[in-house]
Amino acid sequence: MKRSSSVALTVLAMAVAVGARAETNVASGEGLIQAMSADGQAAEGSLKATRAYAYATGEGDARRIVIVLTDIEPPRAAWDDAGDRGEARVAWCDAKQGSFRSFEIKASGEAQSTESCGSGGARDMGMVNEMNGLRSIVVKLEANDGKRVKGSVETGEGACGVSGQPPKYCTPTGSYTFDAELAKPPLVDRIWTQGKADAPELAAARKALQEYWDAAGKATKITDLVPRMTADRAAQVASQQEKAGEFAERMFKNAFVPAHAGPVTVGEGRFLAGAAVLTTTNSVTRRDKTSKQSCRVFMRLESGAWKVDKESCKSE
């Protein structure tokens, strides 16, 4: 009798433990995002978050955590394997599969930027600003152990309050909670940490990147470079041309071309399973001001030829 009772208690304890296990990759809360009205005009919309997708990228002080809150279950496997997860989730939203709001969080735990995509493919991006000690995006992490992130996000505009009390948002714009397992690192990060630095394939990749860079510095329109781009990037260019048109061309001439003008140094690289990441450094002159630019360029082998996909650059 005692043994049966002991077994029953053990089974009950297991059942309680299983029942208490929290669901992961979930979110809750609601906030304002930009949407598109029926007549194609930008309008105010909202995101009621139900699911969360999160991942870490970068190293050291440059490490960032990206948390994506969605209103339906996102295509996790497709986003995991995308060369550019940002573009992948925008394409998902553009196809009217769902809406999202993402937050990029610095290694210090502070939010750095946000992006949203609402119904009809309306997009909005913003950086964090601060007024009277109150930041426009406040993230509180309860868990951040390299495998899982759990916490809350509050967003708003302005800082209002009374003397002697902490300020509150004059206009609250969002309040969310999330609990998500970190997805595997982005493909570019995986190539950089797992790829071979001495792979013979890198010689052809370097040559193709040099030719692309030389052509980019002399191009008169973005479509001149499409033959040197991956199929995915070419599709992104076509989409940008359709949506932005004249503005996209101005950005190309005023920002993209100057960033590729002049000589470039192609540095170290990594090769992994038909893809590569190469580093570059060059000088960029805009309005008589010169700065140093460093990039990591993601490339793929397509139909036996190296094509350029994502360029991630920063100026120093």
Residue 303 and residue 254 share a domain: yes
Tell me if 8 is assigned to some domain: no
Q: Are 271 and 196 in contact (CB under 8 A)?
A: yes
Residue 31 and residue 128 share a domain: yes
180 SS3 class:
strand
Q: Are 210 and 297 in contact (CB under 8 A)?
A: no
Number of folded domains that form the chain? 2
Residue 179 and residue 36 share a domain: yes
Q: Are 169 and 160 in contact (CB under 8 A)?
A: yes
Q: What is the residue-level pLDDT of the chain in tens, covering all 316 positions?
A: 444 444 343 444 443 444 444 688 999 999 999 887 777 777 788 999 999 999 999 888 889 999 999 999 999 999 998 888 999 999 999 888 999 999 999 988 999 999 999 987 888 999 999 998 999 999 999 999 999 999 999 999 999 988 888 899 999 999 999 999 999 999 999 999 999 999 999 999 999 999 999 999 999 998 999 999 999 899 888 888 887 778 888 888 888 999 999 899 999 999 999 999 999 999 988 777 888 999 999 999 999 999 999 999 988 7
For residue range 48-104, list pLDDT tens digits in order: 999 999 999 988 888 999 999 999 999 999 999 888 899 999 999 988 899 999 999
Q: Which domain holds residue 128?
A: 24-184
Q: Which of 53, 163, 162 is nearest to 98 (CA)?
A: 53
| Residue where one domain finishes, among candidates 184, 212, 241 | 184
Burial (CB < 10 A; 0-12, 13-18, 19+), residue 59, is exposed
Angle at 243 between CA 220 and CA 157, to 5 degrees: 115
Q: Write down the pTM of the prediction.
A: 0.81
For the chain, percent helix, then strand, then coil, each to nearest 5? 30, 45, 25
Strands (E), 145-263: 148-157, 171-181
284 SS3 class:
strand
Q: Which of 241, 32, 187 is nearest to 116 (CA)?
A: 32
